[in-house]
Amino acid sequence: MHVQADKVRARLTIRDIPDLAPLGPDADAPFVPASLAEPLFGGPQATYAVLDAATIPVLPELLAAQDLPHVCLAKDGSGDILAAVSPWLVKLEPDTPLLRALFTKGEAHMTCFWGTDAGIFLRSDAPLDKIANHLRALLKVRNTDGKMVWFRFWDPAVIAAYLSAVTDWPERIDSLFASRFLSDPTLIAVETGKARARVVVPSGARSRGLPFTLTERDLAILALPQQGRMKSELADWLLRLDPGRFRPFGPARRLAVAEHVALQGARYGFTFFEEYAHLLYRMTYLGGWFHLAPDFAPFTEALSPVRPARMPEMSADFPREYARLMPSEEERTAILTRLAQAARNPRGRFNRAAPEELRALTAIAEGLLPKGAGPEAARSETRAALPDADIHGRALFYLLRLTCGPHPHGDPLYPAIREKGLATSATDVNLDTAADFYLRRLQRLI
C-alpha cells in the first residue's frame, strides 16, 4: 500500500491514496483503513461526514441510535420522503461504530457499507451548525436559467472528478470553499467501490466567494461520473420504497425501471438524483408513462423545466394533487374489489365474456381515472396499441390501462404485462394467460 506524492493544482492541493483495503467484520478490527487514519483524524480539527440516506438504509435511525451529532441538510418542508434520499451531516469520533461500518466489507447490509460510496468526509474547526449552513448553500444552486437545481457534492465520485476538473478555475474554488463559516477545510472523498481516496485542501488567500451558479461547463463535468451510479441508486431506492412490491422484480427488472426513469427525467432537464427519485415516486402511483398521457396532465405540470425551485414544488405538491384528483384509498379498494368479482365471468374464460359483461367491467374501471379527465384518452390509447385485436383483447388492454396506468404494455413497472403477450394482438392462448395475470394483479392491489 502506498500514497502518491502530493500534486499542487491551481488553488488546490490534491493527494491521491490508492489501494485501500477494507476492514474485516471482526470486533477487533480498527475503525478506519491504516492509510486513512491520518487524513481523517490526524491533527486537532474535528471530523465530519456527509452521508447519503439514499445509499445507507435507515441512516437517520442509525445516527440517532448511536447518539451522534447530526442534521439533515435538506430543509425545505418536503417531509420524510425527501429526507430518506437526502444527505446528512454527522460529526464523527475515531471510535464511532458507524465509522467502522463505512469501511467494513461483508454481507450484513446494516453494518457493512464498503463499496457503497456513501459520502464524503470534511475536516474543520467549525462547529456542526456552521458547516451545515455552508453546505446548505451548495445543496441547491442556480443554473444559468435561474432555476434551482441540486448539486450532488456528497457523492465521492462526483466531487473528486469535479474538483480535479476545476483546478484551473479559481473563482469556482472560492465559491465552493470560501466562507465565513469554515477555516482551512479539508475534503476527503473516499470511493470504497474503487478502493481509493482523494484528499483535497484549498490553498492560497481566498476572498469570500460569489454564489455558486451552475454553468454549462459545470453540468458537463458533473454528468460524466453520475449516470451509472444514479441508476444503481435508483434501483436500490426502489426496493426500499416498497419492498413487498419490488423485491420480486429482481435486480435486472429494478435496473430496467431505473433506466426508464433516467431517460424520462432527461426529457425535463433533470440533473440530480433527488429529481429522478421523485419522478420514480410519482410513477409508482401513476404508472411509468403518466407524463405522456393527456388525462394525467395535471401531474405533469410540476415537472416542467421552466418552473423555478422545481424540486421543492414537486415534493410538496404531489400529495395534495393526488388526494384532489385521484380516488381515495377507500374508493380505489371498492372499485378494485368490484372488478375482481365481476371479472370472474360465469363462462370461466375471459375470451368468452359477453359484450355486456365487458362493458360492465370497463365502466367500473373508469372510476380509477383522474377526476374530470374522462375516458377518451385511455380509449384512444387502447385503439392505437392493439389495432388488430378483437373486442376481448381491446377490453383487457383497456382494463389494464385503467388499473395500472398509461401504456401498460411498455411500462417497466409492470414487466409481466409484456411478458404475458399483450405487446401485440392477443390470441386465445395469451389472452387467457393475461386475463389470469390481471385477476392476480387485482387481488394484489386490493
* Euclidean distance between CA atoms 194 and 18, whole angstroms: 9
pLDDT value at position 309?
A: 44
How deeply is 301 buried, as exposed, middle or buried, from its count of CB atoms within 10 A (0-12, 13-18, 19+)? Answer: exposed
* Res 90: pLDDT: 96
Query: What pLDDT shows up at residue 205?
Result: 38
Provide the pLDDT for residue 273: 78
For residue 315, what pLDDT is reported? Answer: 63
Query: Residue 152 pLDDT more than 90?
Result: no
C-alpha cell at 297: 396532465
Residue 188: the pLDDT is: 95
* 8 A C-beta contact, residue 270 and residue 234: no
What pLDDT sits at residue 437? 66
Top-confidence residue, 225 or 96: 96
pLDDT band at 441 (very low <50, low <70, confident <90, very high): low
- Cβ-based neighbours of 169, under 8 Å, separated by 6 or more: 10
pLDDT higher at 161 or 286: 286
For residue 9, give the H/E element and its range. Answer: strand 7-9
Alpha helices by DSSP H, listed for 287-372, are 297-300, 310-325, 329-342, 355-365
Average pLDDT over residues 200-220: 73
Report in angstroms the alpha-carbon separations of 413 from 225, 242, 289: 26, 12, 10
Among residues 232, 253, 17, the alpha carbon closest in space to that of 115 is found at 232
CA distance 298 to 396: 26
The pLDDT score that the predictor gives to residue 419 is 60
Mean pLDDT within 384-400: 80
Across the range 176-205, mean pLDDT stands at 82
Give me the residues paired with residue 72 across strands: 88
Nearest of 328, 430, 406 to residue 371 by alpha carbon: 328
Report yes or no: 79 and 69 within 8 Å, Cβ to Cβ. Answer: no
Residue 24: what pLDDT?
Answer: 82
- Reported as a pLDDT band with limits 50, 70 and 90, residue 2 is very low
- pLDDT per residue over 45-64, tens digit each? 999 999 998 888 788 888 88
| Cell (9 digits) for 160 | 473528486
pLDDT of residue 424: 43
Residue 86 DSSP symbol: S
pLDDT over threshold 50, residue 8: no
Which of 46, 35, 227 lies closest to 131, judged by CA? 46
If you average pLDDT over residues 373-389, what whole number do you get? Answer: 82
pLDDT-based confidence at 9, cuts 50/70/90? very low
Residue 374, pLDDT score: 85
pLDDT at 343: 66
Report, as an integer, the average pLDDT of 113-137: 91
Grid coordinates given for 281: 415516486
Query: Given a cut of 50, is residue 7 above it in pLDDT?
Result: no
Comparison of pLDDT for 219 and 81, the residue scoring more: 219
pTM of the model: 0.54
Is the pLDDT assigned to residue 347 strictly greater than 90? no
When the pLDDT of each residue in the chain is averaged and rounded to a whole number, the result is 80
* pLDDT tens per residue, range 258-290: 888 887 887 777 767 788 888 999 999 999 999
Give the CA-trace dihedral at 281, 287, 291, 297, to 10 degrees.
-100
Bridge partner list, 188: 121, 199
Average pLDDT over residues 373-378: 87
* Helix spans in 16-96 (H): 34-41, 59-65, 80-83
Question: Residue 247: is its pLDDT beyond 60?
Answer: yes
In the predicted structure, residue 187 carries a pLDDT above the cut 80: yes
Please report where in the chains the cell 485542501 appears, as a residue.
Answer: 201
Name the percent of the chain lying above pLDDT 70: 79
Tell me, what's the pLDDT at 129?
A: 92
CA distance 418 to 71: 44
